[in-house]
Amino acid sequence: MARIDDLLSQARALDPALGRELAAAIKERTSFGLVFEDHLPEAVEMPMVPVQEGSFVRILPPRGSTTQPEPDVYEVVEVSDDEFLLTPENQGADTDEAGGEVIETVTASRKDVVAVARYKDTVYPGLCLDGQVDTEDTKEPVHAVINAENSHALRMLGFTHRESVDTIYIDPPYNTGSNSWIYNDRYVSGDDSFRHSKWLSFMDRRLTLARDLLKETGVIVVAIGDDEHHRLRMLMDKVFGEHNFISSVVWQGGRKNNARFISNGADYMLAYAKNLSTWSKPGVPLKEAPSVSTIRADEIQERGAKWRVPKPGVDNVLAQGRKAWEEAGGDEEKATALMRAWFKSLPGDAPEKKMARNIYFLPDGALARDGDISAPGGNGFRYDVLHPVTNLPVPAPSRGWRSTEDGMRQMIAEGRILFREDHTDPISEKRPLEGVTGQVALSVFDRQRTHGTRHLHYPQNDSGVFPDARFPYPKDHTVLMEWLDLMTPRDGVILDFFGGSGSTMEAVLRLNEENATSERTCILVTNNELNHKDAQQLRKDGLRPGDPQWEEHGVYRHVTKPRIETILTGTRVDGTPYTNPTAGRVNFFTLTYEAPAAIQHDLAFAKVAPALWLKAGSRGEVITEIPDHGWAATDTYAVLRDTDQTAAFLDNLKDRPDLRHVFVITDSQATFRQVNDHLPPGVASTRLYEDYLTTFKIAND
């Protein structure tokens, strides 16, 4: 360190502030494990935001040029009718011969600059409703698609969904070196010597924001390829803790016959928990913990939970059990004989054969199997259980009984204990097949990845969502359905902030339709970027981001939104019918950037309103305006603007049993507390706009 210390001393002598910053940066560097250059945070271009004095901007290349924008950022120091006077961001303080300060300036035309938000800038997001689809006879919830730069959307979700998300699934850029992703508004190519550290910086910031959105029982799954798999796992160890690692799932997507050595056709899904220990309940054996897909989110810590996939053929066995019980007229012995005969008639390789122990019946006709009744781990209860015919004790397990003596009597009375012919054989418990229909998922599975592409566009029979090819390599929504169902409680909130073509949203919509108990909510964030090839062509044609012709080719406008609209309405973008629609309710939003003063003075309520709806659980309608009487309410949330009307407001809330959240617009903490103290039990509250503004200030610190 002597060399570094010497250089730091020289830096402090020249510029004390710079010396301190360098020392702090060196101290933060990791000397082992995952080491990468922490690149300067991205600056996001915002072509729809007006530029004014004090704004930070970039200078755009001339129209018709295919050159990528330079990353340099400038501050607007003077505004004229046609031009801006700019000064480079963070320029050093130079002096002239007389000791006066010299400021470098650049002049740029109004039409050749674009506003930017640097990562370190505090942004105050709003949401503009950009459409909604509501099919008939649709149950709650309402899902949300947000068109936004995802780092800004994650900050907004820090206000609406902090510690409220059950499952995050993302499919980020794989960083293959093929100009497939953008860093700092520039496509990153394979010859960029810093592409790996740029990608890690990009992911580190977003994963850190995402971690704070997860519940303690929440999980995150990140899809990735060979290029960054090993680096991503180390990064996720850093962000989530290696002790919270769940699995590295391998998706074998097909064979590459042109490979010289090995067909590397696999993708991966890295799965981590926020807090793995919350999935275990002391005193509850793993085999007795319910599958998470069958319970509500708040039951995970109460009961413990596990991930299980349905056993192949289980539906056929259950159906045959119902048929046998009906044919036997409720006679258990006859129904059992019918089940034995049915299992025996099946082909040897039938998956149902593996469930041939499910031949017993409970008194209510539920098909059951015989299960162990001894205490797991030993130290069970000790007492005699008498055989109902011989009246002699049956063999007691060496580990003792799992149930108390009273519990055993109750199970015998309910017909849940299986006695053999006499007392010399051990007894077992009848366990309903309905409760043990799952099996552990494997960490490797095969599924052709071409299914996702054909689902969006299949020209052979014109059966796709789109009549033309619009998106390369979309994820197969049927695979996502299986995995999201496996790891998410039935009322869980699912977030995808690399939403791409919208496969995650379609997966959740179809899960809810196919499973009567599923009430999962999806929030999908995608941007409106173009792929590199299309962007180059449009730049050559003289277009820029923000131009209507440019924006209509972005992924949100051209793929995500029309895909979701098509599968819900049954009508494709060209007016032809789509033959495999589903049901659901989806609101589409575009993220906006609001002035904090406008928010503080209640001049931007319409833009803040959708965020309040999201925070309240995204149920029902969005309150977009407040009537003259000073407050508004839906079944699930309410907003009070005129605190002089508090009495009438509170009186109205008494008839809203599903109310979840109340927002109070007031500068007075005392007034807010007074309203809060009189809210119905269990209703959350938020003060506007102090809590809203503070959230984004904290998120950026």
* Residue range 320-344, pLDDT digits in tens: 999 999 999 999 899 999 999 999 9
To the nearest whole number, what is the mean pLDDT of the chain? 89
| Cα separation, 552 vs 562, whole angstroms | 11
| Cα separation, 219 vs 296, whole angstroms | 15
Give the tokens for residue 138. 């649709």
| Residue 200 · residue 222 · CB < 8 Å | no
Percent of the chain with pLDDT over 90: 63
Q: Compute φ and ψ for 503, nearest 5 degrees.
A: -60, -40
pLDDT in tens, 128-149: 999 999 886 555 789 999 999 9
Residue 635: per-residue pLDDT: 92
Q: Which residue has the higher pLDDT, 2 or 17?
A: 17
pLDDT at residue 355 above 90? Answer: no
| Cα separation, 611 vs 156, whole angstroms | 8
Average the pLDDT over 481-495 and give the result. 97
Q: Which residue has the higher pLDDT, 13 or 618?
A: 618
Give Cα separations from 68 to 424, 450, 532, 576 (angstroms).
84, 32, 10, 39
Widest pairwise Cα distance in the chain: 114
Token pair 């519940």 is at which residue?
215
pLDDT at residue 664 above 80? Answer: yes
Q: Nearest to residue 169, comparing CAs of 472, 479, 465?
A: 479
Identify the sign of the CA torsion 51, 52, 55, 59.
positive
CA atoms within 13 A on the CB side of 387: 17
In this prediction, residue 265 has a pLDDT band, given cuts at 50, 70 and 90, of confident
Residue 422: per-residue pLDDT: 94
| Cα separation, 117 vs 611, whole angstroms | 20
| Cα separation, 354 vs 368, whole angstroms | 14
In this prediction, residue 101 has a pLDDT band, given cuts at 50, 70 and 90, of low
Burial class from Cβ neighbours inside 10 Å (0-12, 13-18, 19+) for residue 307 reads: buried
pLDDT in tens, 542-593: 999 899 999 999 999 999 999 999 999 999 999 999 999 999 999 999 999 9
Dihedral angle computed from the Cα positions of residues 21, 22, 25 and 29, in that order, rounded to the nearest 10 degrees: -170
pLDDT at residue 175 above 90? Answer: no
| Residue 428 · residue 419 · CB < 8 Å | no
Residue 436: per-residue pLDDT: 66
| Cα separation, 375 vs 255, whole angstroms | 48
Identify the sign of the CA torsion 624, 627, 632, 635.
negative
Give Cα separations from 171 to 337, 471, 497 (angstroms).
51, 14, 9
Give the tokens for residue 535. 């962007």
Identity of the residue numbered 344: K
pLDDT at residue 162 above 50? Answer: yes
pLDDT at residue 176 above 60? Answer: yes
Nearby residues of 406 by Cβ (< 8 Å), 6 or more positions away: none
Nearby residues of 322 by Cβ (< 8 Å), 6 or more positions away: 365, 367
pLDDT in tens, 103-125: 788 999 999 999 998 877 888 99
| Cα separation, 143 vs 147, whole angstroms | 14
- Our CA angle for 634, 640, 643, nearest 5°, is 150
Residue 12: per-residue pLDDT: 81
Give the residue ranges of DSSP H helices in 374-521: 405-413, 450-456, 477-487, 503-514
Strands 521-526 and 178-183, sheet pairing? unpaired
Burial class from Cβ neighbours inside 10 Å (0-12, 13-18, 19+) for residue 337 reads: middle
Rounded to two decimals, the pTM is: 0.84
pLDDT at residue 44 above 90? Answer: no
Q: Nearest to residue 83, comparing CAs of 102, 110, 57, 60?
A: 110
In this prediction, residue 290 has a pLDDT band, given cuts at 50, 70 and 90, of confident
Other residues' Cβ atoms within 10 Å of the Cβ of residue 189: 13
Identify the sign of the CA torsion 674, 677, 678, 680.
positive
Output b/e per residue, 81-92; b: 16+ Cβ within 10 A. Answer: eeebbbeeeeee
Average the pLDDT over 621-629 and give the result. 95
DSSP 497: S
Other residues' Cβ atoms within 10 Å of the Cβ of residue 618: 24
Q: Which of the residue ranges 45-49, 326-330, 375-379 has the most confident prediction, judged by mean pLDDT? A: 326-330
What DSSP assignment string belongs to 100-145? -EE---EEEEGGGEEEEEETTS---EEEEEEEEEE-TTPPS--EEE
pLDDT at residue 362 above 80? Answer: yes
| Cα separation, 469 vs 455, whole angstroms | 11
Nearby residues of 337 by Cβ (< 8 Å), 6 or more positions away: none
| Residue 426 · residue 395 · CB < 8 Å | yes
pLDDT at residue 1 above 50? Answer: no
Q: Which residue has the higher pLDDT, 611 or 72?
A: 611
| Cα separation, 188 vs 601, whole angstroms | 42
| Cα separation, 176 vs 195, whole angstroms | 10
Give the tokens for residue 683. 């209703």
Q: Which residue has the higher pLDDT, 95 or 347?
A: 347
Q: Residue 267: in which H helix or E strand, if any?
A: strand 266-273
Q: Nearest to residue 452, comparing CAs of 470, 476, 433?
A: 476
Give Cα separations from 108 to 48, 105, 117, 220, 333 (angstroms).
18, 10, 19, 45, 90
Cα radius of gyration (the chain): 31
Q: Nearest to residue 58, comparing CAs of 42, 75, 79?
A: 75
Average the pLDDT over 436-446 and give the result. 86
Other residues' Cβ atoms within 10 Å of the Cβ of residue 513: 16
Give the tokens for residue 164. 């409220």
pLDDT at residue 443 above 90? Answer: yes
